[in-house]
Amino acid sequence: MSGPATFRVALVGCGRISRNHFEALAKVPGLTLSAVCDVDADRARAAGEQQGVPWFRSYEEMLAHAPCEIVTIATPSGMHPEQGMLAAAAGKHVIVEKPMAITLSAADDLVHACDAAGVFLFVVKQNRLNATVQLLRRAVDKGRFGRIYMANCTVRWARPQEYYDQAPWRGTWEFDGGAFMNQASHYVDLIQWLVGPVESVVAKTATLARRIETEDSGVAVLKFRSGALGCIEVTMLTYPRNFEGSITILGETGTVKIGGTAVNRIEHWSFAAYDDDDKLVDAVNTNPPTVYGFGHEAYYRNVLAVLRGEAKPDTDGRAGRKSLELILGIYESAKSGREVPLPLRARI
């Protein structure tokens, strides 16, 4: 009798986030890294030699020659849809880093391509899988807040000019987007995932200190369909280093704030009625070495379970699209100076 199915993963894009994928894959029996690719030959070679797998400079060559059932895409955001569609056409399941695209039309094209090819599309939203966030999600699902009145996300991080200068695609509209689209996209995802659909948004963005096309700071005010209000505050100009990545929910019978630099620590947990989950508050706190947290391992465990037919995707293409639509609504409001209703009327 054969054992459980195993799957090989080829990764394209050996930049900052790739080491989180390498470390996560090493911890998930049933998944193995089979190849890496990067247009920078030195970076591709270094990753391949370190991981002990073949390396490629050409994505098309990797798709044609690397043995794999899954392709992980960790390249600049604007490249995700095209590379995902090529992987789908080659019959590979697709894992794509956030955001899945920088336009809704491209996101839809990627979703439809994966549907047509009969492959799974997974969008990485690892912060959903933080133990702290999972505990908060359970509290929301159990109705412990009663009616939710307000929700707030704060991303006070530091990205010096050198960060943008290291890669010409960073801070561009074509390949990256700004602080909302790139650095804060996980937090935009969390607030809409936890509190529910957004009815409309009003936003202001600014490029205050960095020499980039896109915004380094911004604020968005949300009205949820439930009637609750929300605010997302984002800046990459915090001195001298990353300071806070938090979410706060205020309801008629509960108040919770998860803070730290990456929603990794419960700073306040108060409900009118006791639940056994209250005993877990201290145990779920973590101290990750970076703002990426520890969620990639759990994300890959879900991918494996889905491919084995044991689970549903934590975040598929359609779920990943929801936060992209909210980000694009934020940008549309900032550009027009008007309140923007959601869903967006036209594909952007």
Residues 331 and 189 in one domain: yes
Q: Note the pLDDT tens digit of each residue in 61-104.
A: 999 999 999 999 999 999 999 999 999 999 999 999 999 999 99
Q: What CATH number is attached to the domain comprising 155? A: 3.30.360.10
Residue 179 falls inside a structural domain: yes
Residues 311 and 327 in one domain: no
Average model confidence (pLDDT) across the chain: 95
Q: What is the domain count for the chain?
A: 2
Residues 147 and 74 in one domain: no
User: In which residue are the tokens 């690719």 written?
Assistant: 37
Cα distance between residue 172 and residue 185, in whole Å: 16
Residues 133 and 117 in one domain: no
Residue 46 falls inside a structural domain: yes
Residues 284 and 172 in one domain: yes
Please list, in sequence order, all residues whose beta carbon lies within 8 angstroms of the beta carbon of residue 141, skipping any fewer than 6 positions away: none
CA angle centred on 142, ends 136 and 144, rounded to 5°: 75
Query: In one letter, which amino acid is 31?
Result: L
Residues 110 and 248 in one domain: no
Residues 112 and 196 in one domain: no
Contact indicator for 296, 124 with CB cutoff of 8 Å: yes
Q: Nearest 10 degrees: CA dihedral of 164, 168, 172, 175?
A: -120
> What is the pLDDT, as a whole number, of residue 288?
63
Q: Average pLDDT in the 309-320 region?
A: 95
Cα distance between residue 158 and residue 206, in whole Å: 15
Q: What CATH number is attached to the domain comprising 64? A: 3.40.50.720
> What is the pLDDT, as a whole number, of residue 295?
79
Residue 347 falls inside a structural domain: no
Residue 251 falls inside a structural domain: yes
Residues 120 and 133 in one domain: no
Count CB atoms within 10 A of the CB of residue 79. 19
Residue 38 falls inside a structural domain: yes
Q: Average pLDDT in the 125-146 region?
A: 95
Residue 292 — pLDDT band, cuts 50, 70, 90? low
Cα distance between residue 64 and residue 44, in whole Å: 17
**pTM of the complete model:** 0.94
Residues 15 and 160 in one domain: no
> From the CA atom positions of the chain, what is the Rg in Å?
20
Q: Note the pLDDT tens digit of each residue in 208-225.
A: 999 999 999 999 999 999
Residues 50 and 153 in one domain: no
Share of the chain above pLDDT 90, in %: 93
User: In which residue are the tokens 């599309």 written?
Assistant: 121
Q: Note the pLDDT tens digit of each residue in 184-197.
A: 999 999 999 999 99
Count CB atoms within 10 A of the CB of residue 341. 14
Residue 291 has pLDDT above 60, yes or no: no
Which tokens hold the place of 162? 């050198």
- The parent domain of residue 111 ranges over 7-124+297-315
> What is the pLDDT, as a whole number, of residue 348?
53
> What is the pLDDT, as a whole number, of residue 236?
98
Concatenated DSSP letters of 9-66: EEEE--STTHHHHHHHHHTSTTEEEEEEE-SSHHHHHHHHHHHTS-EES-HHHHHHHS
Q: Note the pLDDT tens digit of each residue in 233-271.
A: 999 999 999 999 999 999 999 999 999 988 999 999 999
Share of the chain above pLDDT 70, in %: 96
